[in-house]
Structure 1
Amino acid sequence: MDFAKLLFPDFSLILCGWLVCRYTALNRTVWIQVEALVYYFLFPVLLFQSIVRSPLDVGATSSLIVAGVLTGLAGIGLAYYLPRLPLLRRHIDRRDHAASAQVAFRFNSFIGLALAERLAGPQGLQLIAVLIGFCVPLFNIGAVWPMARDSGSHFGAALARNPLIIGTAAGLSANLLGLHIPGWLEPTVSRIGATSIALGLMAAGAGMQFGSLANGKFLAASVLTIKHLLLPVIALAAALLLRLDAAQTTILLAFSALPTASSCYVLAAKMGYNGPYVAALVTLSTVAAGFSLPFALGVLGTLRP
């Protein structure tokens, strides 16, 4: 599989956002409003649709769910622990860490859905939908908590107001209740979802400032190492421990090596943190996935059951 072709659309949209913001009249003033539109409306609709579209067969995929949750918890734990490491402690800015810890464990669900379909057809879509449904709420909570704690916000209130968590929880509830988006409404919802991806990636590009990485290069290297090296290894260990079948192991490995979510930037920016720094990490993660996906599916994939 040509992973470069799979990742190129996302990377090119980030680049377009950067160019448009810097060389046209559509400057930061415009993109701040775009970020709000994506964060409060477009992304929640995309998450709801992604989870509702495929039935969640919890019984048949319970081991996969456990493996995905364990992998995610490991990523969250490693990301949170970074400021405690003796060699990194003095090189990590506390607020930048609160904003960028999410980069180490969140994932781009759109690329995940496209990749799963190519890897395993309809079965792959169902398996990735299960992981999205159960992991997105956990990962969004893991993303919000460091920023809410650092800013002194009430954690419960921050979660209750977070539109990404609301959209995910609503989608998961609807799926488990057997509810579906009506056929006549599906095209509209699909277009909203597609719009959220394009504008979210362009907004990340518009907010990107690579110069902000200069003072946070150790933190950047650490979260990207967790995301693109350690998580695939942990996912393989979880697959072997829980004796996942070949299809489930393949989807779990792909899931663990995906680029981070483009909404990382929007979440950090809307919560008052260093959005440009996180936007640069989103871009680097998209590039790094061109290496981590072949590593996970090629190198580690040969060790699967």
Structure 2
Amino acid sequence: MNFAQLLFPDFSLILCGYLVCRFTALNRKVWEPVESLVYYFLFPVLLFHSIARSPLDLGSASSLIGAGLALGVGSIALSYSLPRWPLIGRHMDVRLHAASAQVGFRFNSFIALALVGKVAGPQGLQMIAVLIGVCVPLFNVGAVWPMARHAQRGFGRELLRNPLIIGTASGLAANLLGFALPGWLEPTINRIGQASLALGLMAAGAGMQLGSLHAGKSLGVAVLVVKHVGTPLLALGLVHLFRLDALQATVLLMFAALPTASSCYVLAARMGYNGPYVAALVTLSTLLGVVSLPFALGVLRGML
């Protein structure tokens, strides 16, 4: 499978946003309202729809759910622990770490949904929907907590007001209650989802300053190592611990190796942190996905 071809649309949109912002009249003043639109409306609608539309069979997927939650907690713990790592930890800026820790555990759900059908078929699509439904709330809480703490904002208030968490929680509730969108509304919601993907990625590119990586080289390398090496290896261990079958193992390994979420940049920027630095990490993570996905689905799956 050509993973580079699969990831190219996301990376090309980030590049387009960067070029448009830097070399046309559509500068940062234009893109700041776009970020607000994506963060407060487009992404929440997309999250709600992605979770609500795929029925969650929680009973038959209990082992996969357990492994997914354990993977989420483990990857969050690894990302949070970076300032305590020997040699490099004491040199990390705490605010920069608070903004970028989310890159180490969040995932690009658009790539997940595009890839899983080719890798694991229709059953795999149901399984990834389960993982998205149970892990997105956990990851969003994990992303908001350090930034709310370092910004001296009320954590509970930030969670209740966070549109990404509201969209995720309401989508999960609608799914479990059996709510279904009317057929006539589906095309509109689908187009909102497509717009959120394109504009979110372009906004990440518009806010990107690759030179900003100099603000925390060691931190950036450590976060990306957690995301693209540590998390897939942790997934391999959990496959054995939870005794997942072959299909579940494939889905979990793919899930662990995905590039980070493009909304990492939007969240960091809207909460007053170094958005360009996070956007650069998102770009590098998208590129590294071309390596980590074959590593997880080829090398690690071959070790089962």
TM-score, normalization: structure 1? 0.99
Q: What's the counterpart of residue 238 of structure 1? A: 238
1:79-115 alpha-carbon deviations (Å, 9 max, x no partner): 1111112312232111110000000000000100111
Percentage of pairs with the same residue: 70
The 8 Å contact of residues 212 and 276 in structure 2, kept in 1 or not, is answered as yes
Q: What's the counterpart of residue 199 of structure 2? A: 199
The 8 Å contact of residues 84 and 90 in structure 2, kept in 1 or not, is answered as no
Q: What's the counterpart of residue 302 of structure 1? A: 302
Give runs of ≥4 in structure 1 deviating > 3 Å. none
Q: What's the counterpart of residue 249 of structure 1? A: 249
Tell me which amino acid in the other structure corresponds to 2:176: L
Tell me which amino acid in the other structure corresponds to 1:241: L
Q: What are structure 1's unaligned runs of at least 5 residues?
A: none
Q: What's the counterpart of residue 287 of structure 1? A: 287
Q: What's the counterpart of residue 7 of structure 2? A: 7
What's the RMSD between the two structures over aligned residues? 0.7
Tell me which amino acid in the other structure corresponds to 1:268: A
Indicate the SS of the match to 2:234.
helix
**2:82 aligned with 1:87, yes or no?**
no
Q: What's the counterpart of residue 105 of structure 1? A: 105
Q: How does 1:249-268 map to 2 (within 5 A)?
A: 249-268=249-268
> Separation in 2 of the partners of 1:90 and 1:75?
20
Indicate the SS of the match to 2:81.
helix
Indicate the SS of the match to 1:184.
helix
Q: What's the counterpart of residue 124 of structure 1? A: 124
Tell me which amino acid in the other structure corresponds to 1:121: G
> Separation in 2 of the partners of 1:240 and 1:186?
40
> Separation in 2 of the partners of 1:303 and 1:244?
14
How much does 1:119 deviate? 1.0
> Separation in 1 of the partners of 2:246 and 2:35?
40
Q: What are structure 2's unaligned runs of at least 5 residues?
A: none
> Separation in 1 of the partners of 2:150 and 2:166?
22
Q: What's the counterpart of residue 222 of structure 1? A: 222
Q: How does 1:156-195 map to 2 (within 5 A)?
A: 156-195=156-195
Q: What's the counterpart of residue 275 of structure 1? A: 275
> Separation in 1 of the partners of 2:85 and 2:202?
34
1:34-86 alpha-carbon deviations (Å, 9 max, x no partner): 00000000000111111112100000001101101111111100111111123
Segment drifting more, 81-90 vs 220-229: 81-90
Tell me which amino acid in the other structure corresponds to 1:25: A
> Separation in 1 of the partners of 2:222 and 2:86?
13
How much does 1:181 deviate? 1.3
> Separation in 1 of the partners of 2:17 and 2:64?
36
**How many residues end up aligned between the 2 structures?**
304
